[in-house]
Amino acid sequence: MASVSSLPPEALCRRCTLDHVDFTTTDDLEDALEFIGQERPIAAIELAVGIERQGYNIFALGPSGTGKHTVVRHFVEQRAATDPTPDDWCYVNDFDTPSAPRALRLPQGLGRQLKTDMERLVEELRSGLSSAFESEEYTTRRRVLEEEFQGRQQESLSELQERAKERGVAMLTTPTGLAFAPLKEGEVVSPEEFQKLPEDEQKRIKGEVESLQEELRKVLLQMPRWKREFNSRLRELNHDVSALVVNDLMDDLLDKYKELPGVVDYLTAVQRSVADHLDDFLESDGQKAGEAAATTGLPLPEAFQHSPALRRYQVNVLVDSGDAEGAPVIHESNPSYLNLVGRVEQMSMMGALITDFMLIKPGVLHRANGGYLILDALKVLSSPYAWEGLKRALQFRQVRIESPVQMMSLTSTVSLEPEPIPLDVKVILMGDRRLYYMLAEADPDFNELFKIAADFDDEFVRDDETTRQYARLIAAIVSREELLPLDRSAVCRVVEHGARLAGDSERVTARMRSVVDLLEESDHWARKEGAELMSAEHVQHAIDAQIYRSDRVRSRLQEQMLRETVLIDTDGARVGQINGLSVLSLGTFSFGRPSRITATVHMGEDEVVDIEREVELSGPLHSKGVLILSGFLRSRYAQEQPLSLGASLVFEQSYGGVDGDSASSAELYALLSAIGQVPIAQSFAVTGSVNQRGEVQAIGGVNEKIEGYFDLCAARGLTGEQGVLIPQANVKHLMLRQDVVDAVAAGRFAVYPIASIDEGIEVLTGVPAGELDTEGRYPEGTVNRKVADRLAEMAERSRELGMQAKARHTRGGSASGTGADDDADAALGSACGEPGRSA
Amino acid sequence: MSETVPDVRVERIVVALDASPHSVAALEAAAELAALMEAEVEGLFVEDSGLLCLCGLPFSQEIDVCTTAVRPLEAADMERQLRLMATTIERTMEQVAGRAAVRWSFRVRRGAVVEELLAAAQDAALMSVGRAGRVRRRGMGSTARSLIERSGRPVLLSGERGGSSAAAGRLQEPLTVLYTGTPAAGRALDMALRLRAARSMPLRVVVWAGGDASPDVEALEEAARGLVAAAAGDEAGPVSLVRVAPSADPAEALRDVRGGTLVAPHEQAALVADDERLTLLVP
């Protein structure tokens, strides 16, 4: 009989009782908890937010649903609340270079203040200057100037005219100028009369006319100079009149902002600009715009409808922290390039696109400046140029607003080049582990810029403290999501399910999203029933419903076994045949399924043929497992003679490929049975990998595998003989379904913890394995003896036949190191309804 | 040139035209007044015979006002330029008269400017001239002055200043009459009353007793009131009286009553010589 006893029911599922927590329903629990565990990433985050140096940005890595966002937000917000509130940032016009708007930094709240002040200034300048220039005093002074200028012109002409008259010459206006003509009795002398005059007289008149012409030229030459003089005196007058208004208003502002040199510079530039552009302030509202619209007949954008020229005195408040307390924490859900670094918008005016500093829009880097910015790494990477833009901003510690085309220097169109703004922001990227390691390897800048990795665990140790916190966290979720409260049994059931999700009775899952989903679904079932509390039944209902929703393929496969389309024996005994167990993963749902593994032996030269591998249906881990078991055979039975054995192993009716080494122990049992001709009880199914020393090692998905075989047996009817052999090391992972536990308790099913191949073969065959005696032989009647005898016999026979050199099979492999835990997730699914599996 | 049959019964307003902005203002004013008085506008462009004479002289030259360049004058050039001016003026006249919807005609005469204008004024109801010619000058030009002194007809003076010719030639409200009690002043007030009746507008009578005939101010005011009352139509617009002390400067008093169109007796022409407003001088 077997020397290994089956596990007691209590070892199959570690129940959660929460005896150490005093509560009846979740309402009794303090629900202030947002997360539990994750000490490692928390320490990382605390370090990163505490170091005010370049590059201490965070990459929070871990599977989705592990609460990365919650934890990061919690600690970052905590820190941000005590950080100083960042300054305001404004863009203002640069009056010397309007294409390069100037950035102004102002203490919190002063940005909007300056904006209002400038608006008021423009209003006051308009009214002040208009009334100054419309005043009686100004009009009079201007008229005096004008008359002086005109008078000078006219008087000099009149004087000349008078002088001409005295000399008997008239000044005539021709269609294109002025001319002088000799007069006689008030009439111009006719050519005939002129000819009759004595020659001296003619000469005299000619001389007079010529000298008058010269005088007229002199007078006319003076005129532009007088005009210039008039203009300059008019400018002086305008300046004097405006200075009074402008200086008075500006002095108030300069005094108000005297502590801020940047603003003082700006205001001084404004003052100069106002003096140069007085006309803009004197135009009636929208006059220029109206004229422009009238000429083209096109409507103007709204922003340009009122005094477009005065836009240059506006203030574009890019970042307004007026109402903020502490540093900003911003989570940008769409981290596109433009959303990150900001943009210069354009608007259509009369068919052309125009822009100015007022159309600069901030990016999220501006808004998070002085604080924290949380981004999804995958979104940043998949958004064109966003990663490059983010890196550049962090590297140079400044935000430069450029369009992607500008950034790549693909355009030379005139556009704005706003002054870059110094950047002091801590960026937290969220992503999965693969992305982190990929970036760390592929992008040399990444490690420089994201020095802190906050590595989130997907499970944590299940002990009294964590289960207590788990219960509190459940209470917090219930209160946050406004779910029905859970009674004690329900909380316990959720904790147990958390352990089952972790695949370990000593761990609970940290993927709280699954827990939230379960609670929400349980709440649904409870409400449907009209219950006021969620109980374990509701939770179980939700779990069952989750499984039912996803197990179409599983039930179809089981159906095939029950109808014997797929041949699996669950009773009787066969030589060289065993039930292996594999796990299939479909999306988030995994289930176990039995597979028949057969072994055949023949005389040959130390060769175990893995048929799966021959046809390339096996993954490397499976091939490795097979090579390990031939290593085991050689080391145990071929110390003193060559292994004259040929064997072939196959997963029967497997069409989709197989990977993982968790079937290697089953394959070895089948092989031993085939060599020693010892039948194996078909009521058992086996999982576990084996090393070259014959020790059975842990595998993954133990719960799914046991339940997979149990489901088949239960469907056929439990005989009490059936059971599963699992590696001893996997006992701690058992979190089996209640029906399995119940069947074991009733003695109708069994789970055997196996530490070595010898233990396993005894359970499977009912024959002792046998240990080497002092003479180096196995006792008579044991499995090992049978195997050793058969191999010796084959070696002898082989020698006799002289067949050492040739082998029928020419392919094989060499064994290597010990096996590791298999990969339970390899799914090499095929279209024929035979999904990939791992054994 | 004329497109209407001359009709002696129809009142005519003669406009002296020389393509200067002042003369365009005069044309605008004449057209507006003609529309009110249902009169006809006759444009007159006088080709200065003096200029043509000058062209024949051996040393004839002109100086360009803008460039001060000296160019010899040729009779043929001058003829061409004068024709061009006439064409331009006629075109302007067509537009202005068309806009005001008045009958119009246009004549070109050759001779001494003042003499030709005076001749044309003989059978005109009113002369409309620009304050000055094409060369800008302060005050009134010699042609305008001669017309006022010698025509014996009401003369409408227009001047372009700062604004457009069209604006300068527009009849502005209120009508402002300088009433000094002389017969001419009486006719001026009468004319203003007729205009007021034709187009309802307020009337302002500036009563000044400081002229040659000097009855006391009250009597003058009384007389003015009488004349206003005699003219029918209170609905034509309000009438206000402004009294100017005999010792006060009437030119200043006139400037103080801002805006509007001035109507004054022609013997007070010197008072309004420098005024920018549209001014009607009545003999």
Check whether residue B43 and residue B141 sit in a common domain.
yes
CA of B143, closest CA in chain A: separation in Å? 13
Residue with tokens 């006893």: A5
Question: How far apart are the C-alpha atoms of A281 and A274, rounded to whole Å?
Answer: 8
Nearest CA in chain A to B57: A191
Question: How far apart are the C-alpha atoms of B277 and A838, rounded to whole Å?
Answer: 108
Nearest to A784 by CA among A769, A767, A799: A769
Tell me, what CATH number does A379's domain have?
3.40.50.300
Nearest to A821 by CA among A698, A667, A688: A698
Interchain CB distance below 8 Å, B64 and A189 = no
Residue after which a domain boundary falls, among A422, A456, A490: A456
CA angle A534/A538/A540 to nearest 5° reads 135
Check whether residue B246 and residue B160 sit in a common domain.
no
Q: Which pLDDT band, with edges at 50, 70 and 90, does B147 fall under?
A: confident
Residue B6 lies inside a defined structural domain of this protein? no
Neighbours of A276 (CB within 10 A): 10
- Write down the pLDDT at residue A829: 34
Check whether residue A252 and residue A362 sit in a common domain.
no
> How many contacts does A have with B, using Cβ atoms within 8 A?
94
Q: Which residues of chain A have pLDDT under 50?
A: 1-2, 286, 804, 807, 810-837, 839
Residue A372 lies inside a defined structural domain of this protein? yes
Check whether residue A466 and residue A440 sit in a common domain.
no
Check whether residue A50 and residue A22 sit in a common domain.
no
Chain B residues with CB under 8 Å of A151 CB are: 138
Check whether residue B118 and residue B175 sit in a common domain.
no
- Write down the pLDDT at residue A298: 54
Residue A237 lies inside a defined structural domain of this protein? yes
Check whether residue B161 and residue B202 sit in a common domain.
no
Residue A692 lies inside a defined structural domain of this protein? yes
Would residue A196 show up in a list of annotated catalytic residues for this protein? no
Check whether residue A524 and residue A567 sit in a common domain.
no
- Write down the pLDDT at residue B5: 42
Nearest to B280 by CA among B160, B182, B195: B195
Residue A383 lies inside a defined structural domain of this protein? yes
Question: What's the structural domain count of chain B?
Answer: 2
Chain B residues with CB under 8 Å of A153 CB are: 136
Residue after which a domain boundary falls, among B132, B167, B202: B167
- Integer-rounded Cα Rg, in Å, for chain A is 48
- Write down the pLDDT at residue A221: 87
Tell me if residue A92 falls in helix, strand or coil. Answer: strand
Check whether residue A269 and residue A352 sit in a common domain.
no
Neighbours of A358 (CB within 10 A): 16
CA A521 vs CA A484, A499, A546, B232: distances in Å: 11, 18, 9, 99
Check whether residue B132 and residue B247 sit in a common domain.
no
Tell me, what CATH number does B64's domain have?
3.40.50.620
Residue B232 lies inside a defined structural domain of this protein? yes
CA of B78, closest CA in chain A: separation in Å? 8
Residue B35 lies inside a defined structural domain of this protein? yes
Residue A619 lies inside a defined structural domain of this protein? yes
Check whether residue A519 and residue A611 sit in a common domain.
no
Interchain CB distance below 8 Å, A173 and B134 = yes
Residue after which a domain boundary falls, among A520, A549, A578: A549
- Write down the pLDDT at residue A817: 33
Check whether residue A712 and residue A826 sit in a common domain.
yes
Check whether residue B18 and residue B88 sit in a common domain.
yes
Q: Does B25 touch chain A (CB under 8 A)?
A: no
Check whether residue B163 and residue B188 sit in a common domain.
no
Interchain CB distance below 8 Å, A150 and B78 = no
Question: How far apart are the C-alpha atoms of A631 and A494, rounded to whole Å?
Answer: 45
Q: Does B46 touch chain A (CB under 8 A)?
A: no
Residue after which a domain boundary falls, among B106, B141, B167: B167
B239: containing domain = 171-282
Interchain CB distance below 8 Å, B70 and A217 = yes
Check whether residue A685 and residue A812 sit in a common domain.
yes
The per-residue DSSP string of A371-389 comes to SEEEEEHHHHHHSTTHHHH
Check whether residue A537 and residue A566 sit in a common domain.
no
Q: Mean pLDDT over residues B230-257, rounded?
A: 74
Tell me, what CATH number does A267's domain have?
1.20.120
Classify residue B274 by its DSSP letter. T
- Write down the pLDDT at residue A296: 53
Interhelix angle B183-198/B21-37, rounded to 10 degrees, is 70
Nearest CA in chain B to A172: B51
Check whether residue B152 and residue B16 sit in a common domain.
yes
Residue A500 lies inside a defined structural domain of this protein? yes
Residue predicted with more confidence, B165 or A232: A232
Residue A564 lies inside a defined structural domain of this protein? yes
Chain A residues with CB under 8 Å of B71 CB are: 176-177
Q: What is the ipTM of this complex?
A: 0.79
Residue A112 lies inside a defined structural domain of this protein? no
User: What is the sign of the dihedral through the CA atoms of B155, B160, B163 and B165?
Assistant: positive
Residue B5 lies inside a defined structural domain of this protein? no
Judge whether A406 and A415 are in contact, CB under 8 Å.
yes
Residue B46 lies inside a defined structural domain of this protein? yes
- Write down the pLDDT at residue A811: 45
Tell me, what CATH number does A721's domain have?
3.30.230.10
Structure tokens at A807: 């082998």
Residue after which a domain boundary falls, among B167, B187, B214: B167
> Who contacts A50 (Cβ-Cβ below 8 Å, separation ≥6)?
A79
Check whether residue A663 and residue A711 sit in a common domain.
yes
CA angle A331/A332/A333 to nearest 5° reads 115
Check whether residue B109 and residue B232 sit in a common domain.
no
Question: How far apart are the C-alpha atoms of B119 and B106, rounded to whole Å?
Answer: 15
Q: Worst-scoring range by mean pLDDT, A68-82, A656-670, B4-18, B68-82?
A: B4-18
Question: What's the structural domain count of chain A?
Answer: 4
Question: How far apart are the C-alpha atoms of B16 and B39, rounded to whole Å?
Answer: 16
Neighbours of B164 (CB within 10 A): 13
Residue after which a domain boundary falls, among A507, A526, A549: A549
Tell me, what CATH number does A527's domain have?
1.10.8.60
- Write down the pLDDT at residue B234: 60
Check whether residue A450 and residue A488 sit in a common domain.
no
CA neighbours within 13 Å on the CB side: how many for A397?
Answer: 10
A639: containing domain = 555-838
Judge whether A372 and A396 are in contact, CB under 8 Å.
no
Q: Worst-scoring range by mean pLDDT, A617-626, B35-44, B137-146?
A: B137-146
Judge whether A592 and A699 are in contact, CB under 8 Å.
no
- Please measure the distance between the N-terminal and C-terminal CA atoms of chain A and give it in whole angstroms: 28
Check whether residue B178 and residue B162 sit in a common domain.
no
Question: How far apart are the C-alpha atoms of A399 and A682, rounded to whole Å?
Answer: 71
> Who contacts B20 (Cβ-Cβ below 8 Å, separation ≥6)?
B130, B132, B133, B134
Q: What would the pLDDT profile of A269-295 be if each residue is shown by its tens digit? A: 999 998 888 888 886 554 555 555 555
Nearest CA in chain A to B73: A179
Q: Which of A662, A664, A756, A798 is catalytic?
A: A662
Check whether residue B119 and residue B175 sit in a common domain.
no
Chain A residues with CB under 8 Å of B49 CB are: 188
Chain A residues with CB under 8 Å of B134 CB are: 173
Structure tokens at A117: 């002040």
Q: Is beta strand B61-63 parallel, antiparallel or unpaired with respect to A177-184?
A: antiparallel
Q: What would the pLDDT profile of B181-232 be if each residue is shown by its tens digit? A: 888 888 888 888 888 877 778 888 888 876 555 567 778 888 888 888 777 6
Q: What would the pLDDT profile of A379-417 be if each residue is shown by its tens digit? A: 999 999 999 999 999 999 999 998 887 777 776 666 788
Q: Which pLDDT band, with edges at 50, 70 and 90, does B55 fall under?
A: confident
Would residue A662 show up in a list of annotated catalytic residues for this protein? yes
Check whether residue A448 and residue A464 sit in a common domain.
no
Residue B1 lies inside a defined structural domain of this protein? no
